[in-house]
Copies of this chain bind each other. A is one copy, B any other.
C-alpha cells in the first residue's frame, strides 16, 4: 500500500494521514522525497479504507501495490523517473553515456581520457578510487587522491564524476567529491550501505548482484528509495551462469523486464560481463538495442598499463566506434545517445 501526497501537502495533513493509518493498526513509513512525499504502509490494509484515505486533504493517490518494492514499482509513478546529472537527463529519450578507466591511476592520463571521451559525447566520467577485489592482496584503489584527480578532471572537462563506495567511511568521502555514487554488485544486498546512501543527496547507480533476481534488485533499490533518495539508476552487468566464454552472462532480457516493473532508469555495463575487450562492443550494442537507458563503459588509453581490468578496457579507437554504433542504434529506437560529439 502506498499513499502519495500532493506537492503542497502541509505537515498537519501528513500527520493526519499517518494517524489514520495507525488507527487502522498499520505502520506508516514517511518517505521524505524531494519531488513529492510518500507514505508506505506495512501490514494488511483493508481495501475498504483506500477511498477513505483518497479523500483526505493533501492526498494525491492511495494505491494498492502488489510488489514488496512499493516505491520502486512502476505502479507507484505516473511517468518514468528522469534524473538530472550534469546536462544529461538519465531515464529520458537520451541514453546516458558514461565512460572512463576502471581504476584511476595517473592524472595526466585521466585528463587526456576525459577530454577524449567528452569529444565522443560522453556525459559523465567513471573512475575507481576504491576497488572491490576478491584477492585481498590485489591493488585496492588510490583512495582520496584518486577522488581529487577525478574532481580536477571534472573541473577541466565539465564531466560529472561517477565512482564507487564500498562502506560508510568511503561513502562519506565519495560524497564530497563525486556527482554519482556507485554501489557495486557485491554490495547490492549490503543493507546498511543501501540505507546510508538512501540518505545521501547524490544520485546512485545500483548494480545488480551476480546472482540477484530482478525482484531482489528492485528490493535493494527500495532500501534506498525508502530513506528518501529517489535518484536510483539500476545497472545490469551480467550474471553468473555455467557459460564460461564470457566472464559473466549479460542478461539482456532483464532490461525490458526491469523497465516494465519499475519507473527507474536501467543502464548496462558491458565491460564486466565481457571480461575481454573484443566482446565489449557487441554487448554494449545489444544492451542499447534491448532498450537500456545508458552505457557504463571501461576505457583506458593504454590497457596494458591499467592497474585493474586491463583485459576488458576499450582502447580509444574501440570506444569511438562503440559511440557511433550506439548512436545509430539509438536512432533506430527513436532515442539519442550521449551528448553531441565534436
Contacting residue for A329 out of B166, B244, B329, CB 8 A: B329
> Chain A 16-58, CB within 8 Å of chain B: the 1/0 string?
0000000000000100000000001010000000000000000
Binds B, one of A199-207, A275-283, A293-301: A275-283
For A329, the chain B residues whose CB sits under 8 A away are: 285, 289, 328-329, 332
Query: Which residue of chain B is the closest to A285 with respect to CB atoms?
Result: B289
Contacting residues of chain A (251-304) with chain B, CB-CB under 8 angstroms: 251-257, 260, 273-274, 278-279, 282-283, 285-291
Assign chain A's interface to a size class.
35 or more
A241 touches B245 (CB 8 A): no
Copies in the complex: 4
Residue A210 CB within 8 A of the other chain: yes
CA distance A137 to B241 in the complex (A): 28
Stretch at the interface among A96-104, A110-118, A172-180, A212-220: A212-220
Interface residues of A in 165-204 (CB under 8 A from B): 166-170, 186-187, 189-193
Q: How far is the CA of A246 from the CA of B250 in the complex (A)?
A: 13
* Bound CA span A291–B289, Å: 12
Beyond contacts A68-B137, A187-B190: 8 other A-B pairs, Cβ-Cβ < 8 A, are A69-B135, A136-B223, A240-B242, A245-B254, A252-B286, A285-B289, A289-B329, A329-B329
